């Protein structure tokens, strides 16, 4: 490996090798897939490995599962999130997108004070929807909320507004220069790599998780579809969700 770029290792069995050593640090990477493909598990493992193996702090912003639900999911893999939180290595923020509160105003402050090396946004799809719905009318100042406020109230198509909010959200997150994973639902029609159809172009990387059923046999596959600033495996990688976490199998599909 001639390049000497700094990388953030996922610690996910077999994945760092497929990434030529890890995710280039500071990249914003979409983890895209259908329901149940393991996006949240992937992100949790990224945060837990960061803390346990590499001593790196991780911030997990969840819009879908609350803290107790995340503790429960993690405990199935023997990951003790509460302990990692108590050690100051992990911080979990649950944001209820239906609360109508707009985005937590503390997010910027938390990132600034906590200084995580890793951030997860699970899910970008829900966050984007709630920014579009509640953020626009929010008058209080917070940069992520202000994103929505910058939208000119002249009627525009939903797609343009979505794009605007998305670009602004990425800009804010990118300014932190922290390796970030964002989950997004990938439509089954296969026309786009994310629910919004735009973020795959803005993101530095896209990792696709798929669940394929063929007759009575089913398997999971992972593809690094895009990863800026590094070469990477272009193969479709078989993976499994095991009691120890996600593991890429040597065999390629």
What, of ligand ADP, Mg ion, none, does residue 76 touch, CB below 5 to 8 Å by kind?
A: ligand ADP
- The nearer residue to ligand ADP, 39 or 57, going by C-beta atoms, is 39
List strand residue ranges (DSSP E) for 147-244, in order: 179-185, 205-214, 217-227, 236-242
- The nearer residue to ligand ADP, 54 or 77, going by C-beta atoms, is 77
Q: Does 63 bind Mg ion (CB under 5 A)?
A: no
CB of 38 to ligand ADP, least distance (A): 4
- The nearer residue to ligand ADP, 1 or 35, going by C-beta atoms, is 35
- Residue by residue, DSSP assigns 127-149 as HHHHIIIIITT--S--HHHHHHH
Of the candidates 8, 37, 40, 210, which one interacts with Mg ion according to CB under 5 A? 40
Q: Give the separation between CA 12 and CA 6, rounded to whole angstroms.
A: 18
What, of Mg ion, ligand ADP, none, does residue 36 touch, CB below 5 to 8 Å by kind?
A: ligand ADP
Span 52-81, contacts to ligand ADP by CB under 6 A: 76-77
- The nearer residue to ligand ADP, 123 or 130, going by C-beta atoms, is 123
- The nearer residue to Mg ion, 40 or 221, going by C-beta atoms, is 40
Residues whose CB is less than 8 angstroms from the CB of residue 190 and which lie 6 or more positions away in sequence, other chains included: none
Question: In which residue are the tokens 């990938």 written?
Answer: 186
Q: Give the separation between CA 213 and CA 18, rounded to whole angstroms.
A: 24
Q: Does 210 bind ligand ADP (CB under 6 A)?
A: no
* Nearest CA-CA partner of 77 in 46, 116, 120: 46
Q: Give the separation between CA 48 and CA 126, rounded to whole angstroms.
A: 23
Q: Give the separation between CA 212 and CA 143, rounded to whole angstroms.
A: 40
Span 22-51, contacts to ligand ADP by CB under 6 A: 33, 35-41
* Nearest CA-CA partner of 23 in 120, 126, 124: 120
Which residues lie near ligand ADP (CB under 6 A)? 33, 35-41, 76-77, 241, 243
Which residues lie near Mg ion (CB under 5 A)? 39-40
């Amino acid at each position: 490996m001639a390049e000497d770029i700094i990388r953030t290792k996922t610690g996910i069995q077999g994945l760092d090798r497929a990434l030529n050593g890890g995710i280039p640090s500071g990249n914003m990477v979409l983890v895209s897939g259908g329901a149940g493909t393991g996006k949240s598990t992937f992100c949790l493992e990224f945060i837990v490995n960061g803390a346990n193996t590499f001593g790196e702090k991780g911030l997990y912003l969840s819009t879908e599962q609350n803290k107790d639900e995340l503790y429960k999911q993690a405990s199935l893999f023997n990951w003790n999130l509460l302990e990692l939180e108590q050690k100051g290595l992990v911080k979990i923020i649950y944001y209820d997108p239906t609360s109508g509160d707009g985005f937590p105003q503390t997010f910027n402050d938390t990132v600034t004070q906590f200084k995580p090396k890793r951030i997860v946004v699970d899910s970008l799809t829900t966050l984007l929807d709630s920014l579009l719905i509640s953020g626009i009318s929010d008058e209080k100042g917070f940069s992520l909320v202000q994103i929505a406020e910058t939208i000119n109230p002249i009627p525009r198509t939903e797609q343009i507004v979505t794009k605007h909010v998305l670009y602004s959200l990425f800009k804010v997150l990118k300014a932190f220069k922290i390796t970030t994973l964002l989950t997004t639902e990938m439509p089954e029609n296969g026309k786009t790599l994310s629910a919004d159809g735009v973020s795959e172009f803005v993101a530095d990387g896209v990792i696709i998780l798929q669940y394929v059923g063929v007759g009575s046999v089913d398997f999971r596959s992972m593809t690094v579809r895009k990863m800026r600033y590094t070469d990477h495996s272009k193969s479709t990688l078989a993976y499994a969700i095991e009691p120890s976490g996600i593991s890429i199998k040597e065999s390629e599909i």
